[in-house]
Chains A and B, each alone.
Chain A
Amino acid sequence: MESVIYLLNGFGEVITPFNLLIVLLGSLLGTLVGVLPGLGPTSAIAILLPVTTVLNPAQGLMMMAGIYYGSMYGGSTTAILMNIPGESSSVPTTLDGYPLAKKGRAGAALGIAAIGSFIAGIIGLVGLILFAPFLANQALKFGPPEYFTLMLIALLVLFNLTGFSLKKSVIMGLLGFLFSLVGIGMTTGQPRFDFGFSFLTGGFEMISIIIGLFAIAEVLKGLEENRSLKEPKKPIKIRNIYPSKKDLKQSSLPILRGSVLGFFLGILPGISATITAFLAYDLEKKVSKNPEKFGKGAIEGVAGPESANNATSSGGFIPLLSLGLPSSPPLAVLLAALMIYGLTPGPILFEQNSQIVWTIIASMFVGNVILLILNLPLVGLWAKLTDIPFGIIAPIILLISFVGTYSVRNSMFDVVVAIIFGILGYLFNKFHWPIIPFVLCLVLGPKIETYFVQSMEMSSGKLSIFVQRPISLTILLFAGLILIVSIILMKRTKRRILQETGEHLEFS
């Protein structure tokens, strides 16, 4: 019950005019970036990071959460209106959302997506409040060996997820690891991989690599496709913004099913929003009385996956906040952001900064409400945004990326790194090398190394410590089980993406 009191305190913190404004601004900015074609939550969080750094940690993170939710919603807007999914988790939304839009019912689809996301977000948050303190309580018992096994397993599961050959995924992961090692070593205090250059002693800044790989590479991709020359896809006129009573009635059960499914699978590390969104879509098709409607504009086909998508994202906060385990790239960026603020997710966070954690959780509730209130009437405006020509958007994205990378450490070296990784990201994309394992290893690499070395220091160099401690052994056994489940689900999702889009899409 303690957590309810904490949460109420958190609400008290959030509901001040300034904090509300911050949440509102975060949601708006997030939606703004999410609506831009090709930019999903991962890039949105990475390039908007500098905007949050003037604030104190709690407010910065409130804004960050708003950006995250907002960009997810923005992504579904482009999916419905233009048939362009911002992230792979919006692919199922396009299947029925775009046909609905063509029929002139874009408003209904967007409205249902907003409502579905809202309900799923709330359900996910309730789960977060119930589970997180429990996990955090147990988590102090987790020592370095436990964390090491946990992270290693999470990585293995995530590797498997990319939809590319395992060999390429592993190599990319190893390379991510390699880049994370540059800088001062933890146990000796000696610089590693610096080759005598002083600018390398500080290591690479994760955020600048992520901005390069996601935002700059995306712009280069757009340049190659000559998006500026092509007549922009005419977004469909939105006649009626609000969904009808009939729509609401039809989608109430799908929203519920999608949320529950998305949340419970989302707690498990390695089950991403893409997986649950597809599962929810197929589930709706299966239980529907007239499955032939799907793909031609069934409102249930929007409600189910959109809710699952959002519930999974909320569910992902549980392993992130209580154990420090990100289950998807946007959460990995969020983890990196938390570390910039000097907040290391994990049991310590709940012990030492519980006020901040509960304020953030409360702000997520508020953010969801704001998004709902905001998005229904603003749908038309967001749709207009998609009209801005690429020739203006691309330079703006590049300039913001520049500021974003510079401001993390106020270092020009980081900017150069970001540009180089922009080129690399473009080439990786061209040659079908997955970047997600790279990013995850880059973020988790230092932690995995720390936990491994700490374990070895505790056991005087005996590897048996990992199976001798009961919790660590349990994790290893349990992990085997999750691995098998996720492999099966992943195969399925890979096949479904191929069916629906006709290409091997990297997903997360």
Chain B
Amino acid sequence: MTFKLFSEKKISGFIVILLGLLSLHEGKTLYPYSKNLLTGDHVFPGLIGILLVVFGLALFFERKTEEKKVDLPTGKTLLILVSSIVILFFYCLLILFTGYVVSTLITAACLIKLIGKYRWINSILIAGIVTCVFYLLFIVFLKIPFPSGFFTF
């Protein structure tokens, strides 16, 4: 039984303790606003902070190491996973500048190409249909106020 510093339990226990301390700290800063120990906005941050620290410590020092092996994706799969997330974040930015239609078309085409592995031309075609339907549904019918960007549509 070797001591592993970077096992799942150690890391998660550590994070949980940190979050607990953060919550306790927030409880402390809020305390002066209230008159009573048990009434006010500081009660729950404090309480949850204490519990998180306790359970975090319990997790950190847990003896049993029947941890199942977890395979994280590698290689191509990892690349696809990461790039889809990056595309989504990029979408958030793009929509601010170009409005819903253009950004959705670009995002949809990239995602379909990436995930479905179609040819570019097909991806853009499918993306075009999807964007049209979404535009009609969300913008024309449901009137969701997306940032309009440079265009009026």
B-contacting residues of A (Cβ < 8 Å)? 50-51, 53-54, 167, 170-171, 174-175, 177-178, 181, 185-188, 190, 192-193, 219-220, 223-224, 226, 228-229, 389-392, 394-396, 398-399, 402-403, 406-407, 410, 412, 415-416, 419, 422-423, 426, 430-433, 449, 452-453, 456-457, 460-461, 463
- Contact present for B8 and A390 (CB under 8 Å): no
Query: Which of the residues B56, B88, B104, B115 comes within 8 Å of A223, measured between beta carbons?
Result: B115
Q: List 26 A-B contacts (CB under 8 A).
A: A54-B142, A175-B16, A178-B19, A181-B45, A185-B40, A186-B41, A187-B33, A187-B34, A187-B39, A188-B30, A188-B40, A192-B26, A192-B45, A193-B45, A220-B85, A391-B115, A392-B112, A394-B111, A394-B115, A396-B130, A403-B138, A410-B144, A412-B95, A422-B85, A423-B85, A449-B44
A-contacting residues of B (Cβ < 8 Å)? 8, 12, 16, 19, 22-23, 26, 30, 33-34, 36-41, 43-45, 48, 51-52, 55-56, 58-59, 62, 68, 70, 72-73, 77, 80-81, 84-85, 88-89, 91-92, 95-96, 104, 107-108, 111-112, 115-118, 126-127, 130, 134, 137-138, 141-147
- Contact present for B73 and A406 (CB under 8 Å): no
- Contact present for A188 and B115 (CB under 8 Å): no
Q: A167-B55, A167-B58, A403-B134 are in contact. Are A416 and B89 (CB under 8 A)?
A: yes
- Contact present for A193 and B26 (CB under 8 Å): yes
Query: Which of the residues A181, A391, A412, A423 comes within 8 Å of B48, measured between beta carbons?
Result: A181
A397: min CB distance to chain B, Å: 10
A11: min CB distance to chain B, Å: 28
Report the bound CA distance from A247 to B55 in whole Å: 53
B107: min CB distance to chain A, Å: 7
- Contact present for B39 and A392 (CB under 8 Å): no
Query: Which of the residues B52, B111, B112 comes within 8 Å of A171, measured between beta carbons?
Result: B52
Report the bound CA distance from A188 to B81 in whole Å: 43
- Contact present for B37 and A430 (CB under 8 Å): no
Main secondary structure of the interface of B (DSSP, over half): helix
- Contact present for A50 and B84 (CB under 8 Å): no
B61: min CB distance to chain A, Å: 12
- Contact present for A224 and B118 (CB under 8 Å): no
Query: Which of the residues A174, A412, A432 comes within 8 Å of B68, measured between beta carbons?
Result: A432
Chain B residues positioned under 8 Å from A392 (CB to CB) = 112, 116, 126
Report the bound CA distance from A419 to B58 in whole Å: 30
Query: Which of the residues B41, B104, B117 comes within 8 Å of A188, measured between beta carbons?
Result: B41
Q: A192-B30, A423-B85, A430-B72 are in contact. Are A185 and B41 (CB under 8 A)?
A: yes
- Contact present for A395 and B70 (CB under 8 Å): no
Chain B residues positioned under 8 Å from A190 (CB to CB) = 30, 33, 41
- Scoring A187, A192, A395, A422 by chain B CB atoms within 10 A of each residue's CB, the highest score goes to A395
B30: min CB distance to chain A, Å: 6
Q: Nearest CB to that of A463 among chain B residues?
A: B38
Report the bound CA distance from A190 to B26 in whole Å: 12
- Contact present for B92 and A412 (CB under 8 Å): yes
- Contact present for B144 and A171 (CB under 8 Å): no
Report the bound CA distance from A50 to B137 in whole Å: 11
Report the bound CA distance from A188 to B34 in whole Å: 7
Report the bound CA distance from A456 to B44 in whole Å: 12
Q: Nearest CB to that of A460 among chain B residues?
A: B36
- Contact present for A389 and B116 (CB under 8 Å): yes
Q: A178-B23, A188-B34 are in contact. Are A452 and B44 (CB under 8 A)?
A: yes
- Contact present for A402 and B88 (CB under 8 Å): yes
Chain B residues positioned under 8 Å from A389 (CB to CB) = 116
Query: Which of the residues B45, B72, B96, B108 comes within 8 Å of A395, measured between beta carbons?
Result: B108
B146: min CB distance to chain A, Å: 7
Q: A185-B41, A399-B107 are in contact. Are A50 and B143 (CB under 8 A)?
A: no
Q: A391-B112, A410-B145, A452-B43 are in contact. Are A174 and B92 (CB under 8 A)?
A: no
Would you list the 6 A-B pairs with minimal beta carbon distance, nearest first?
Answer: A391-B116, A185-B41, A395-B111, A188-B33, A456-B39, A461-B38
- Contact present for A175 and B144 (CB under 8 Å): no
Report the bound CA distance from A171 to B9 in whole Å: 12
Q: A431-B8, A461-B38 are in contact. Are A185 and B143 (CB under 8 A)?
A: no
B26: min CB distance to chain A, Å: 6
- Contact present for A224 and B111 (CB under 8 Å): no
Chain A residues positioned under 8 Å from B91 (CB to CB) = 402
A145: min CB distance to chain B, Å: 13
- Contact present for A171 and B55 (CB under 8 Å): yes
- Contact present for A456 and B38 (CB under 8 Å): yes
Chain B residues positioned under 8 Å from A224 (CB to CB) = 73, 77, 81
Report the bound CA distance from A415 to B132 in whole Å: 22
Q: A54-B143, A177-B48, A415-B92 are in contact. Are A390 and B37 (CB under 8 A)?
A: no
B48: min CB distance to chain A, Å: 5
